[in-house]
Structure 1
Amino acid sequence: MPENSQKRGLPHGGYVMGRVKYKKADGACFLPAVLSVSGAAVMLVSGWYICRLAGAFLLLTGFMVQWRRERQRIQVLTAYLEQANTGNAPVLSALGEDELSRLEDQIYKTVTYLYQTREEAVRTKSEFAKNLSNIAHQIKTPITTVSLVVQTMEERDGGEEKEEREQIMKQLTRLTHLEEALLLLARLDAGTLVLKREATDVYTLLVLAADNLQEIFAYWKVSVDIPEQGEMLVVVDPDWTMEAVMNLMKNCAEHNAGGCVRCFYEQNPLYTEIRIQDEGAGFDREDLPCLFERFYRGKHAGEGGIGIGLALAKELIMRQNGTIRARNLPEGGACFEIRFYRH
């Protein structure tokens, strides 16, 4: 074997093969070094993830705390507005300078302004009702005096000047109706009209209202059609609701000479609907928005009308959880549509 191909020992367990020198790795020193570097890398990565998770947790916790705080403040605002609707809202103090605090401040200012406006409106309405009542009572005295004078003249003169006396009595009757209407409006405005609501059959209500208008129907030669559609109950004051229905029937009769006044009614889970309609020319388009205003007289208003009947009907119906509207029928004629809601 050539000399240079023989193995020759080296220190620390190494050896030489040919011209190349080899040295055994010191396992005892190399493995701990590798493990030490790997452990440091793992700890570094783990620490990075832990920091990320901790940051996310803190951010989420802060968000939840802020959300709960804002939710509580919104609940306080909601409760405040509910109390404002009942007229028992306390003083609301805004805390802080954030957007929600500014909203609280604006809500409090608005509610305070609405309270002041409402109190002023109630005071004005009360004064108006008092004045209206005083006017009605002042009208009543001369009406009574003139009526007595006319009766005395009739007894003294016999049949002379009969036409003039009839005209005077006609105007006195109109003034009497005006006085009664003004007193009723005053009671409605002052809130002193007590409505005794009870379960009332719709068919019975309509028939009684028509019976009280037989003289007017006969004068205008108008017939009335009220089909019986089974028992349907509404919770209303029967007397005052009948008064409202009579005003609507009377309006239909006066604008429907020789025709027919028809009544229909139906009921569903939400409301009971009553329709009173005629076969006349219907409403003028410009009159429709103003029909239920006090003292409004349309183009074709009758001579004896004072423009209060429809306004009274609306007031009485609305105070019993009802609505009323007027419209023209496609086939011709006017229609009043009443709805009494269950809730």
Structure 2
Amino acid sequence: EADSSDEVGRLGRQFNAMAADLERTLRELRAERDRVAGLLEQRRQLVANASHELRTPLATIRGYVESALARGAGVPADLKRDLETVEQEIGRLQQLIEDLFAIAQSELGKLTLRLEPTDVDALVQRLVSTSAPLAWRQRRVQVLAEPSSSGLPMALADQQRLEQVLSNLLNNAVRHTPPGGLVAFNLAAEDGSVRLQVRDTGEGIDPEDLPHVFERFFRGRNNGAVGAGLGLALVAELTQAMGGEVNADSTPGQGSCFEVRLRAAS
């Protein structure tokens, strides 16, 4: 009987020791979780702040480059080529900064959307008018907007974010289309929504890559070292935040089609 009591006591002490170890481990895990969460919060805030602060100096630099290019015949041919390269790289950097800023704002819970009736056709026309000359000059890629159907309704969207979606889709298409190729916007009304397509005659997407093109930091087999893998991810996140949907279809060697659907404004 005494041996039985000793055994029960020993088991009780072991159980208490295990419980104490478990509690200590849980406290350490909670502390580590809080530390990592704090570091992630600091990282998000740093990215948001840095992206915001870089906007103004980049815009200033681009302004000087565009001013120099506007001199036309007064710019030597070799200098003009260099300035065009600088202009192209500044544009890519600006797009990356805008994407990083939007993603950081989203992760911080500070991404605000103002959904209102938006003229998608007007946005497309404005984007094409400003981007087509640049795409032709830098890549020899033609950018156009196909005539939209009459009576196209307004879309329920945040205009600023929709511009970012359209710009990212256009930049992606131009980047993957060889010289002499075509990028075309097409708009239509379908089933209470506004459907927007961006089609290109580029290299296409590998079938194994297609399901992953909207994932953050994903770069496909044909991508090489181009792009940060954020543009299309942000397209999907912003479109979904506006209550829409996005998908992609592609045939390797023939081109790709990215489609965005947004609710029509009533």
Structure-1-length-normalised TM-score: 0.51
Instruction: State yes or no: 1:311 paired with 2:229.
Output: no
| Equivalent of residue 237 in structure 1, options 143, 151, 158 | 158
Separation (CA, whole Å) in 2 of partners of 1:141 and 1:342: 36
| Equivalent of residue 218 in structure 1, options 129, 137, 141 | 137
1:284 aligns with 206
Instruction: State yes or no: 1:335 paired with 2:227.
Output: no
Displacement after TM superposition at 1:259 (Å)? 1.2
* Count of residue pairs the alignment pairs up: 210
- Residues 207-249 of structure 1: per-residue CA shift (max 9 Å, x gap): 1222332313431112223213223211111221011011111
8 Å CA contact 1:137, 1:179 repeated in 2: no
2:243 aligns with 321
Distance 1:217 1:313, change over 3 A: farther
| Equivalent of residue 200 in structure 1, options 118, 121, 124 | 118
Displacement after TM superposition at 1:269 (Å)? 3.4
Separation (CA, whole Å) in 2 of partners of 1:230 and 1:327: 26
Instruction: State yes or no: 1:301 paired with 2:223.
Output: yes
8 Å CA contact 1:136, 1:182 repeated in 2: yes
* Equivalent residue letter for 1:308: L
Separation (CA, whole Å) in 2 of partners of 1:213 and 1:165: 17
Displacement after TM superposition at 1:285 (Å)? 1.4
Separation (CA, whole Å) in 2 of partners of 1:243 and 1:141: 19
- Residues 124-164 of structure 1: per-residue CA shift (max 9 Å, x gap): 889745422314545888997xx99xx9xxxxxxxxxx999
Distance 1:303 1:166, change over 3 A: farther
| Equivalent of residue 167 in structure 2, options 223, 246, 252 | 246
Displacement after TM superposition at 1:179 (Å)? 3.9
- Residues 101-138 of structure 1: per-residue CA shift (max 9 Å, x gap): xxxxxxxxxxxxxxxxxxxxxxx889745422314545
Separation (CA, whole Å) in 2 of partners of 1:340 and 1:142: 31
Displacement after TM superposition at 1:168 (Å)? 9.5
8 Å CA contact 1:133, 1:183 repeated in 2: no
Displacement after TM superposition at 1:335 (Å)? 0.4
- Residues 284-343 of structure 1: per-residue CA shift (max 9 Å, x gap): 112212211112222232655221111111111111110111111599310001111359
1:134 aligns with 46
Separation (CA, whole Å) in 1 of partners of 2:100 and 2:42: 11
Distance 1:179 1:132, change over 3 A: farther
8 Å CA contact 1:136, 1:180 repeated in 2: no
> Secondary structure of the equivalent of 1:194?
coil
Distance 1:302 1:210, change over 3 A: farther
Separation (CA, whole Å) in 1 of partners of 2:258 and 2:252: 14
> Secondary structure of the equivalent of 1:335?
strand
Pair member with larger Rg: 1
Distance 1:200 1:300, change over 3 A: same
Separation (CA, whole Å) in 1 of partners of 2:113 and 2:194: 19
1:186 aligns with 104
Separation (CA, whole Å) in 2 of partners of 1:125 and 1:210: 42
8 Å CA contact 1:234, 1:272 repeated in 2: yes
8 Å CA contact 2:88, 2:138 repeated in 1: no
Separation (CA, whole Å) in 2 of partners of 1:133 and 1:319: 21
Q: Which runs of 5+ in 1 are unaligned?
A: 1-123, 152-161
8 Å CA contact 2:52, 2:101 repeated in 1: no
* Equivalent residue letter for 2:187: Y
> Pairwise CA RMSD of aligned residues?
4.0
Separation (CA, whole Å) in 1 of partners of 2:202 and 2:90: 29
Displacement after TM superposition at 1:181 (Å)? 2.6
Higher relative contact order (CA 8 A, sep 6+): 2
Separation (CA, whole Å) in 2 of partners of 1:219 and 1:175: 15
